[in-house]
Amino acid sequence: MNLTLHVWRQAGPDAPGRMVRYEAADISPDMSFLEMLDVVNERLMQTGDSPIAFDHDCREGICGSCSLMINGVAHGPNPGTATCQLHMRSFADGDEIHIEPWRARAFPVVRDLVVDRAALDRIIAAGGFVSAATGSAPDGNATLIPKDTVDTAMDAAQCIGCGACVAACPNGSASLFTAAKITHLGLLPQGQPERLQRARRMVERMDIEGFGGCTLYGECQEACPKMISIDTITRMNRDFLRASMTPVRAAVAESD
Amino acid sequence: MNRALALWHSSIGKHAVMAVTGVIMVLYLITHVVANLLIFQGPSGINAYSRFLHGTGGALWIARLVLLVAVVLHIMAAVQLTNRRRAARPVGYAAGRQPQVSTLASRTIRWGGALILVFLIYHILHFTLGTVHASFVEGDPYHNVATGFRNPLVVVFYEIAMAAVGLHLYHGIWSSGRTLGVSTPSPRPLRRQLALALGVLVWLGFAVIPLAVFAGMVPA
């Protein structure tokens, strides 16, 4: 199949960028979207052009590296998949495809389609963990957890931190990402002692990083390659508001 | 006080303020729409209700004050959150971000809100103060309504504003529960039956009156 690509090219973080048109001829419908870009890049290099920079790693939808806005849709048209799981058969011969990086102030462009998503790491570092010396692995089922609770926690734990929720959100909010971790740890018994402090610290960090607020458009859960539900955001709001109601003295004591 | 300020400074806190003030205004709107429908009982019904409200003395002013504070806080939070949204994505998408599941109601919530504010000011000048009303009679709401919709432009403006109110409620009522963390988890989280029912009922209840008056069904 023959395609016309419009790709965001930007030489560096402070360089001006623009959409550049490329003809992608003889593309196999069985290629993944990233393999198609590999082919385009190989041809670019043969003609002495610089290849299109894009993030990728596992190419099986579990690492969260790939991050492309394809025709205005995060990770492309198919639900519940990352860009690497999108195949060219989802497009028609002769299609024009616009490829852009995630757009958010908190995700500065590094080069072309690569953005710096360290802001998400800093949200996790603010409280998205259980700070306890755990020793060696405990016996299986030593701590009993209801099956429904485990399932909900694991649905949230599927988050791969790709940032599609931010990219798809009209507000540029990282609420689904933050809420997924708060839900994952907040449902499990190991996460209980730090539950409210975690919600407060992670939400504070999310605000500091310059992400937008959540208006509950619902675009994030549709963009999410792991189909994480906005139910997690309800849970984050509840934990954050409860943490905000906690008396100041107790809050200081728990945070230090 | 520090806790309240910290809450106000957070994005979730501002949304919580919008949700709480929104719920207050929705509760008021429900009493407003029910009372409005008294117009179809003739002058006795709605004028008696008006006399009852004005007879409560301080309570009427307390209610007005609560609503004024709710409106002001709702708008302040909305403006600040909109500024935060603008700052969060300084460079947009060349191909445009294509909405997938968001409702028209959610995407028009800001402009719809601005339209409702303009309407609110006009509405108070129209039926509370009477400034823009051709034959306003203090204390006779039946007369004021029955003679207040002769200009088709006024009717059209009211109808557009009421559609905006309906859409605003369709998203606002549903999202308030989620913002405040009181909604229960759902396999289809975007479904919103309560908000749909309330939004449609409030919209229809308000929208029918200017049309009925214009059609001559409310004799002056």
Asked if residue B220 is part of any domain, the answer here is no
Is residue B69, in this structure, part of any structural domain at all?
A: yes
Q: Is B29 inside a domain boundary?
A: yes
Is B169 within a domain? yes
Is residue B95 assigned to a domain?
no
- Site of tokens 């479904």: B191
Asked if residue B107 belongs to a domain, the reply is yes
The pTM score is 0.94
Q: Does residue B48 fall inside a structural domain?
A: yes
Looking up residue B151, the CATH number of its domain turns out to be 1.20.1300
**Counting beta carbons within 10 angstroms of the beta carbon of residue B102, is it exposed (0 to 12), middle (13 to 18) or buried (19 or more)?**
buried
Ramachandran quadrant class, A4 (left: phi over 0; alpha: psi -120 to 50; beta: rest): beta
Tokens 């003679």 correspond to B147
**Tens of pLDDT, residue by residue, chain B (220 residues):** 688 888 999 999 999 999 999 999 999 999 999 999 999 999 999 999 999 999 998 999 999 999 999 999 999 999 999 999 999 999 999 999 999 999 999 999 999 999 999 999 999 999 999 999 999 999 999 999 999 999 999 999 999 999 999 999 999 999 999 999 999 999 999 999 999 999 999 999 999 999 999 999 999 8
Q: Which residue in A68, A123, A204, A216 has the most chain B C-beta atoms within 10 A of its own C-beta, making it the best mutation to test that interface?
A: A216
Residue A19: strand pairing partners:
A8
C-alpha B94/C-alpha A14 separation (Å) is 18
Question: What domains does chain A contain, in order, with CATH numbers?
Answer: 3-110 (3.10.20.30), 118-255 (1.10.1060.10)
Answer yes or no: is pLDDT of A129 > 80.
yes
Beta bridge partners of A96: A4
- Does B31 fall in a domain? yes
Number of domains into which chain B is organized: 1
Rounded to whole angstroms, how far apart are CA atoms A51 and A112?
A: 9
Contact at 8 Å (CB) between A83 and A67?
yes
**What confidence tens digit (pLDDT) does each residue in B157-181 have?**
999 999 999 999 999 999 999 999 9
How far apart, in whole angstroms, are the C-alpha atoms of residue B20 and residue A95? 47
**Alpha carbon distance A45, A31 (integer Å):** 20
Q: How close does chain B come to A134, measured CA to CA in Å?
A: 31
Instruction: Report residue B73 as tokens.
Output: 């806080």
Q: How does pLDDT run across B82-109, given as a tens digit for each residue?
A: 999 999 999 999 999 999 999 999 999 9
> Shortest Cα distance from B101 to chain A (angstroms)?
6
- Judge whether A8 and B94 are in contact, CB under 8 Å: yes
Nearest-by-Cβ selection for A98 from B16, B94, B177: B94
Interface of B with A in 96-125 (CB under 8 A): 96-103, 106-107, 109
Its domain, for residue B13, covers: 2-88+101-214
Candidates A215, A229, A230, A245: best to mutate against B (most CBs of B within 10 A) is A215
